[in-house]
Structure formats: C-alpha cells, structure tokens
C-alpha cells in the first residue's frame, strides 16, 4: 500500500485529487482500475511535512543572508 499526500481541488461540482506519477507507476495503476482510498484530512502543515530543524539560529541565518549585500 502506497501513502502519499495530495491536494483536493475543485473539479466541476465535485472535488477531485490527482495521483503523483511515481505512485501510479509504482502501483501500476491504469485509468480503469478501481482503487480503495483511505481519507485523512491533515490538521496542520507540520503534520504534512514535519517540523523543520535548523542547526543555526535565526540570527546566524539573518547575518549570513546579508553578507555580500553591503
């Protein structure tokens, strides 16, 4: 079973999703195949992508971004 994150979009009077090419190829999905889809709505951006961890502080990154602009 393949898990992937997709974005629902307006499609006429309905809402539709598209499957990424990688999933279609891996699962060998054809246009007439019947699929069973489990739907879970993401509650936050962190749930989708995880929490970002930086090795540098915000101040260090700010100083580095200004180098060469003086």
Tokens of 40: 């879970």
Least confident of 26-30, 33-37, 63-67: 63-67
Q: Is 63 left (phi over 0), alpha (psi -120 to 50) or beta?
A: alpha
In-domain check, residue 30: yes
Q: Is residue 52 scored above 80 in pLDDT?
A: no
What is the sign, positive or negative, of the torsion defined by CA atoms of 63, 67, 56, 47? positive
In a domain, 3, yes or no: no
Residue 22 is predicted with a pLDDT of 92
Residue 23 counted as domain residue: yes
Residue 1 included in any domain: no
Q: Tokens 């540098």 correspond to what residue? A: 56
Q: What's the domain range around 45?
A: 9-66
Tell me the C-alpha distance between 9 and 43, whole Å.
Answer: 17
38 against 53, higher pLDDT: 38
Pairing of β 9-11 and β 14-16: antiparallel
Query: Looking at residues 10-24, what average pLDDT do you find?
Result: 93
Share of residues in the chain with pLDDT > 90 (%): 39
Its pTM surpasses 0.75: no
């Amino acid at each position: 079973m393949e898990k992937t994150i997709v974005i629902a979009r307006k499609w006429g009077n309905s809402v539709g999703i598209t499957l990424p090419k990688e999933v279609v190829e891996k699962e060998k999905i054809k246009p007439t195949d019947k699929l069973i889809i489990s739907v879970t709505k993401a509650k936050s951006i962190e749930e989708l992508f995880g929490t970002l961890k930086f090795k540098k502080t915000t101040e260090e990154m700010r100083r580095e971004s200004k180098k060469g602009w003086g």
